[in-house]
């Protein structure tokens, strides 16, 4: 069924003109030249694929149009023949029963199919709603992705649906949590970005200084006591007293240049040369060499401290890119602290050579630095390799970023959606299966019906029906008969059997026979190129018809309207009727009087030349009334707004009075009104008649004519009294009835 027809682009209609919210029955009233034939011709040429200007409710249906062009084309062929209208034959009772049963089953299956399709659509909509909700939630969680990664991740900018599709795709792939986290991937991305800025590979770190890595001699000197020679007799006494360092220090005092008398620093007695010589011999060359060896390590330790400090200063910042800065700082501080400890131990040993010292080993501190540098160089090597293949590396970072995001940040959302999707997809699959099976069953039924129709249809029934109507309407100069050259076709013949030239028929005859042919075609069985249902369009079918034939056409269309409105017509599911004839329009709508009929819509085309025409509607009540009714509408308008100037009122009142009292009641003219009234009231009635005559031919005929509101009230009251008091009030009911109809129609 057609729901909307957009008329934008047609020269006679305004830009926003259209027939909207069409119903099963649609009445369109408009004057000649307002665009009715434009609408019907547009629908005639509408392709099976449809048109963007026509919006359907459901699938498109076959459209059949009756208009003046149709009337001119039917029976206009040289041989005068037309294809037959196939109706079921009268002698096919058993076949008809089968057709009825199959048709009933077809209707049941079509109803089931419609329900399944609606359920399928609703389920698909529910799934789409779930997707949109997931889509929004995923979009909100994109903020959890580090910027450096999100900038490189595809499908995370602009298009929410593509982002959703990518997330669902990634969720279906295997995932290894060890492949990377946002932290590790962010570091890799930053490294690649930094290398991209320098456009060069990163150099590795040189080997760190290791001056004391294997200084076993130094540790050995510190750990051994350095004492005097054992060959000197005094050595036993010195060793037993453990005062070698005290004695050695005393020699320095004894040999001081100011101690000319060789005074002992301990007992303050003069020391003989022999004793002095024996004491000095305790500390021979071996002792002195050991002390010198220890002293030689002092500059080495100083140099080691300077080297490690310089290495730290140069490389600590770069090393911090590959290891935590606290760890890097601690490694260097441990080495420097160990060197300072060795320096302190050296000073301590020189102060007390005989005391063994066991300082902490520095090797493990250098080993920690070696590991730090080795690991950093390995990272640099890997990074340089990635930089050389940066395009592939970015692809890997992007892939792993998506996987981490989906599996670590979206898992709860996607698991919930997958559960709903699985349930809805199962339902959709079940409905699709049912729809496919019903389609198959309906195709089989349709084929069976075609076969039954082919064995039980005939054009003769239509010939008999049309000829019967022609006879009843006293069209006896021609009739239909079967065509000789076209199996089951029609032709127009004279009573003597001669072929009728369609051009020889009067306009009324031609209109009537072509309409009957069109009307019965709406009841024909479905043809191969047609849909099950039909949209019938009827455009002014009463051209050149006399009143009697117009009533026949009106009756046929009213019968069609009732069937379509109630849904009992086998083929026609929607009817669009266009006319310019007010009487014909109201004949069709007589069944709706004072009603808001179900499944019926009314439209009116307003001709606004030279401006484009506009369409009013849809309305639920018939807006078109006959001329007499509309005159009473004007009376109601005048009565409801007494302060408005109404120069047209005299002419309206005169036409009502003439139509009713002269044409219907039988008075010779309006001057006879009020003859039975008392004299004083007759004067007022005569004044009313004079006033109506004054304004009956033009709006204002004299310079001294000035309509005033109080005069209007007076004339309306006198107008009412004509009906209430003429013939002792015999006409008051007509006045009340017409005013009530006007009020019911919403005019007053």
Query: Is 500 part of a structural domain of the chain?
Result: yes
Q: 551, 585, 619 — which closes off a domain?
A: 619
Domain check: are 665 and 737 in the same one? yes
Give the relative orientation of helices 507-521 and 547-566 as an angle to the nearest 10 degrees: 20
Can you give the pLDDT at residue 327? 92
Can you give the pLDDT at residue 697? 45
Can you give the pLDDT at residue 437? 94
Cα 278 to its chain centre, rounded Å, is 112
Residue 530's domain is classified under what CATH number?
A: 3.40.50.300
Query: Is 141 part of a structural domain of the chain?
Result: no
Please state, as a whole number, how many other Cβ atoms lie within 10 Å of the Cβ of residue 417: 23
Query: Is 408 part of a structural domain of the chain?
Result: no
Can you give the pLDDT at residue 63? 92
In Å, what is the CA distance from 263 to each residue of 247, 274, 609?
14, 14, 147
Domain check: are 513 and 582 in the same one? yes
Per residue in 98-114, pLDDT tens? 877 888 899 999 999 99
Beta bridge partners of 538: 66, 577
Query: Is 636 part of a structural domain of the chain?
Result: yes
Per residue in 552-589, pLDDT tens? 888 888 889 999 988 888 889 999 999 988 778 877 88
Q: Read off the pLDDT band of 27 (50, 70, 90).
A: very high
d(CA 113, CA 59): 13
In terms of average pLDDT, the best of 58-67, 661-670, 673-682 is: 58-67
Domain check: are 638 and 719 in the same one? yes
Query: Which residues in 590-730 belong to E strands, given as ranges?
Result: 600-606, 614-619
Domain check: are 27 and 51 in the same one? yes
Domain check: are 602 and 713 in the same one? no
Mean of the pLDDT values across residues 248-260? 58
Instruction: Tell me which residue of 180, 147, 179, 189 sits closest to 387, measured CA to CA.
Output: 189
Residue 250 or 337, more confident: 337
Cα 154 to its chain centre, rounded Å, is 22
Can you give the pLDDT at residue 267? 65
Please answer whether residues 615 and 13 qualify as being in contact, where contact means their C-beta atoms are separated by less than 8 angstroms: yes
d(CA 83, CA 4): 32
Residue 726 or 706, more confident: 726
Can you give the pLDDT at residue 441? 94
Lowest-pLDDT range, 103-112, 138-147, 230-239? Answer: 230-239
Q: 220, 251, 283 — which closes off a domain?
A: 283
Domain hosting 665: range is 627-744
Please answer whether residues 647 and 695 qualify as being in contact, where contact means their C-beta atoms are separated by less than 8 angstroms: yes
Instruction: Tell me which residue of 560, 464, 557, 635 sits closest to 85, measured CA to CA.
Output: 464
**Beta strand pairing call for 81-82 and 479-482:** unpaired
Beta bridge partners of 572: 534
Residue 642 or 166, more confident: 166
Instruction: Tell me which residue of 627, 591, 630, 748 sits closest to 27, measured CA to CA.
Output: 591
Please answer whether residues 716 and 639 qualify as being in contact, where contact means their C-beta atoms are separated by less than 8 angstroms: yes
Q: Read off the pLDDT band of 545 (50, 70, 90).
A: low
Please answer whether residues 458 and 87 qualify as being in contact, where contact means their C-beta atoms are separated by less than 8 angstroms: yes
Mean of the pLDDT values across residues 443-472? 77
Can you give the pLDDT at residue 503? 81
What lies within 8 Å, CB to CB, of 374 at 6+ separation is: none
d(CA 390, CA 388): 6
In Å, what is the CA distance from 184 to each residue of 395, 399, 484, 624?
15, 14, 91, 80
Please answer whether residues 298 and 270 qualify as being in contact, where contact means their C-beta atoms are separated by less than 8 angstroms: no
Domain check: are 667 and 701 in the same one? yes
Instruction: Tell me which residue of 368, 315, 377 sits closest to 337, measured CA to CA.
Output: 368
Query: Is 425 part of a structural domain of the chain?
Result: no
Q: 619, 639, 672 — which closes off a domain?
A: 619
Instruction: Tell me which residue of 361, 297, 315, 305 sits closest to 207, measured CA to CA.
Output: 315
Can you give the pLDDT at residue 260? 62
Domain check: are 560 and 478 in the same one? yes
Can you give the pLDDT at residue 634? 80
Can you give the pLDDT at residue 98? 80
DSSP state of 673: T
Query: Is 505 part of a structural domain of the chain?
Result: yes
Number of H helices, E strands in the chain: 24, 14
Lowest-pLDDT range, 69-83, 311-325, 606-620? Answer: 69-83
- Hey, CA dihedral for 45, 51, 52, 58, is it positive or negative? positive
Mean of the pLDDT values across residues 638-650? 72
Number of domains in the chain: 3
Please answer whether residues 465 and 520 qualify as being in contact, where contact means their C-beta atoms are separated by less than 8 angstroms: yes
Beta bridge partners of 499: 493
In Å, what is the CA distance from 588 to each residue of 19, 234, 520, 593, 689?
20, 153, 18, 10, 37
Query: Is 441 part of a structural domain of the chain?
Result: no
Instruction: Tell me which residue of 303, 304, 298 sits closest to 350, measured CA to CA.
Output: 298
Domain check: are 593 and 631 in the same one? no
Q: Read off the pLDDT band of 638 (50, 70, 90).
A: confident
Please count the residues of the chain: 748
Predicted confidence (pLDDT) at residue 232 exceeds the cutoff of 80 = no
Domain check: are 665 and 708 in the same one? yes
Domain check: are 638 and 529 in the same one? no
Query: Is 434 part of a structural domain of the chain?
Result: no
Tokens 């729809």: give the residue.
435
Domain check: are 526 and 602 in the same one? yes
Can you give the pLDDT at residue 279? 55
Can you give the pLDDT at residue 702? 35
Mean of the pLDDT values across residues 364-381? 89
- Hey, CA dihedral for 569, 571, 574, 575, is it positive or negative? negative
Predicted confidence (pLDDT) at residue 704 exceeds the cutoff of 60 = no
Domain check: are 693 and 578 in the same one? no
């Amino acid at each position: 069924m057609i729901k909307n027809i957009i008329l934008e682009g047609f020269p006679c209609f305004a830009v926003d003109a259209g027939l909207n919210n069409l119903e099963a029955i649609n009445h369109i009233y408009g004057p000649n030249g307002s665009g009715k034939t434009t609408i019907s011709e547009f629908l005639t040429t509408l392709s099976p694929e449809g048109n963007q200007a026509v919006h359907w409710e459901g699938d498109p249906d076959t459209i059949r149009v009756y208009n003046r062009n149709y009337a001119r084309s039917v029976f206009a062929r040289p041989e005068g023949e037309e294809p037959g209208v196939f109706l079921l034959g009268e002698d096919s009772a058993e076949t008809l029963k089968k057709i009825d049963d199959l048709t009933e089953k077809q209707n049941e299956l079509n109803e089931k199919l419609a329900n399944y399709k609606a359920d399928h659509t609703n389920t698909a909509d529910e799934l789409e709603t779930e997707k949109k909700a997931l889509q929004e939630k995923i979009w909100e969680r994109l903020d959890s992705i580090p910027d450096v990664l999100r900038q490189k991740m595809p499908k995370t900018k602009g298009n929410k649906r593509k982002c959703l599709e990518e997330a669902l795709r990634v969720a279906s792939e295997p995932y290894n949590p060890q492949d990377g986290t946002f932290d590790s991937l962010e570091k890799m991305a930053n490294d690649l970005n930094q290398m991209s800025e320098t456009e060069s590979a990163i150099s590795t770190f040189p080997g760190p200084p290791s001056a004391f890595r294997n200084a076993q001699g130094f540790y050995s000197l510190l750990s051994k006591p350095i004492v005097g020679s054992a060959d000197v007799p005094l050595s036993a006494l010195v060793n037993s007293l453990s005062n070698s360092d005290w004695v050695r220090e005393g020699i320095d005092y004894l040999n001081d240049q100011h101690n000319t008398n060789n005074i002992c620093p301990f007992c303050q007695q003069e020391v003989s040369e022999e004793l002095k010589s024996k004491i000095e011999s305790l500390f021979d060359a071996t002792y002195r060499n050991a002390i010198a060896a220890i002293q030689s390590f002092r500059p080495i330790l100083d140099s080691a401290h300077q080297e490690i400090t310089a290495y730290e200063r140069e490389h600590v910042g770069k090393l911090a890119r590959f290891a935590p800065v606290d760890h890097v700082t601690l490694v260097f501080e441990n080495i420097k602290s160990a060197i300072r400890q060795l320096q302190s131990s050296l000073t301590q040993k020189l102060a007390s050579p005989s005391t063994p010292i066991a300082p902490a080993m520095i090797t493990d501190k250098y080993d920690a630095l070696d590991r730090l540098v080795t690991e950093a160089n390995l990272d640099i090597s890997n990074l340089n390799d990635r930089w050389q293949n940066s395009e592939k590396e970015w692809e890997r970072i992007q892939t792993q970023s998506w996987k981490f995001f989906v599996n670590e940040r979206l898992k709860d959302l996607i698991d919930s959606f997958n559960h709903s999707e699985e349930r809805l997809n199962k339902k959709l699959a079940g409905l699709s299966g049912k729809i496919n099976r019903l389609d198959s069953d309906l195709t089989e039924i349709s084929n069976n019906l075609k076969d039954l129709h082919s064995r039980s249809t005939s054009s003769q029934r239509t010939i008999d029906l049309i000829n019967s109507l022609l006879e009843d309407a006293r069209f006896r100069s021609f009739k239909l008969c079967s065509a000789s050259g076209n199996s089951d076709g029609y032709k127009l013949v004279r009573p003597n059997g001669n072929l009728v030239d369609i051009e020889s028929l009067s306009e009324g005859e031609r209109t009537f026979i072509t309409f009957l042919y069109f009307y019965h075609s709406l009841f024909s069985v479905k043809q191969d190129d047609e849909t099950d249902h039909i949209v019938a369009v009827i455009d002014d079918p009463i051209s050149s018809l006399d009143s009697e034939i117009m009533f026949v056409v009106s009756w046929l269309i009213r019968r069609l309207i009732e069937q379509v409105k109630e849904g009992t017509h086998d083929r026609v599911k929607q009817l669009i009727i266009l006319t310019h004839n007010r009487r014909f329009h109201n004949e069709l709508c007589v069944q709706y009087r004072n009603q808001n009929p179900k499944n019926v819509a009314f439209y009116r085309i307003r001709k606004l030349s030279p401006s484009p025409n506009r369409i009013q509607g849809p309305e639920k009540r018939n807006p078109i009334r006959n001329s007499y009714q509309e005159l009473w509408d004007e009376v109601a308008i005048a009565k409801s707004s007494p302060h408005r100037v109404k120069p047209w009122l005299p002419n309206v009142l005169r036409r009502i009075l003439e139509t009713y009292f002269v044409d219907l009641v039988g008075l010779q003219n309006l001057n006879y009104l009020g003859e039975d009234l008392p004299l004083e009231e007759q004067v007022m009635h005569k004044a009313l008649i004079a006033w109506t005559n004054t304004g009956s031919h033009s709006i204002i005929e004299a310079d001294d004519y000035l309509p005033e509101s109080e005069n209007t009230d007076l004339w309306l009251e006198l107008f009412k009294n004509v009906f209430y008091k003429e013939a002792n009030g015999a006409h008051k009911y007509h006045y009340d009835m017409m005013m009530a109809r006007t009020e019911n129609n919403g005019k007053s």
